[in-house]
Amino acid sequence: MDLRAHRVDALVLRAIAYGEADAVVHLLVRGRGRISAFARGARSSRKRFGGALEPFQRVEALVAEREGQELWALREARVVEGHARLREDLHRIAHAGYAAELIHDLTRAGQPADGLFTLLEEFLTRLEAGAATSARLRALELLALEAAGFAPELAACARCGSEVPQGRAGFDPDAGGVICQRCTQLGTPLALSHGARAALRQLRTGGLSAADAPASADGSGRPADARAFEDACAQAQRPLRAFLQHHIGRALRSSEFLAQVGAPQ
């Protein structure tokens, strides 16, 4: 039996076909967090769903809790923002899929995550407007980790707490971030190059807008060399991905797809 029905603002993270006509849809709902909902007739009823159950779309949905069941009922949905241009390009599809999986895995069912909702919507909007870049992926990863309460340490040693001078530094996902030279002697498999570390620090404060318009690292306020910044962000991929994997407990499936289609990582 359905309990109360709610009209909600949601992003579609994933839609899984079920049987001939139905689907199970994972939604990130403003004010409520992530929910899973059963959409009866999802693939046959244009009237109730009208193409609103594609991943990455922002929808207005009518959902109802079901007594004693984790799965909600999705009664109807309409597209508010389709992000159609995301689907025109394989690299953008790969980045959007990665973002949706990342946000899915960093949220817990039923716990409000409005910071992550806003972040994902902004990421998708920017991705739709430009090319897929490593810089935006790094900004997304950093901001998502921060919103989930797991931000990596980039300034002080994550093992002993002493300050790590600017420049290249060891990076230990288990310890929680960069580590000082003395602690590095205990063995560290990963490192952040000087440029990669500076880029991450800029992205942490500047967010997605810094990813699209980075400033020069010399403090002059001039724009950075976009290509060099993108390279630095790509260099930070392995350490940050290892950090994410440590917190999520597994590698994201969509990272394989990024590699397969040759998208910036």
Which range in 22-30, 158-166, 198-206, 213-221 contacts Zn ion by CB under 5 A? 158-166
71 binds Zn ion (CB under 5 A): no
Question: Rounded to whole angstroms, how far apart are CA atoms 254 and 57?
Answer: 18
Among 58, 136, 159, 197, binds Zn ion (CB under 5 A): 159
Binding mask 203-232 for Zn ion (x = CB under 5 A): ------------------------------
Shortest Cβ distance from residue 187 to Zn ion (Å)?
Answer: 13
Among 52, 61, 180, 191, binds Zn ion (CB under 5 A): 180
169 binds Zn ion (CB under 5 A): no
Among 96, 116, 144, 157, binds Zn ion (CB under 5 A): 157
Among 16, 17, 109, 160, binds Zn ion (CB under 5 A): 160
Which range in 32-40, 72-80, 151-159, 255-263 contacts Zn ion by CB under 5 A? 151-159
Region class of 57: left (phi > 0), else alpha (psi between -120 and 50), else beta: beta
Residues forming the site for Zn ion (CB under 5 A): 157, 159-160, 180, 183
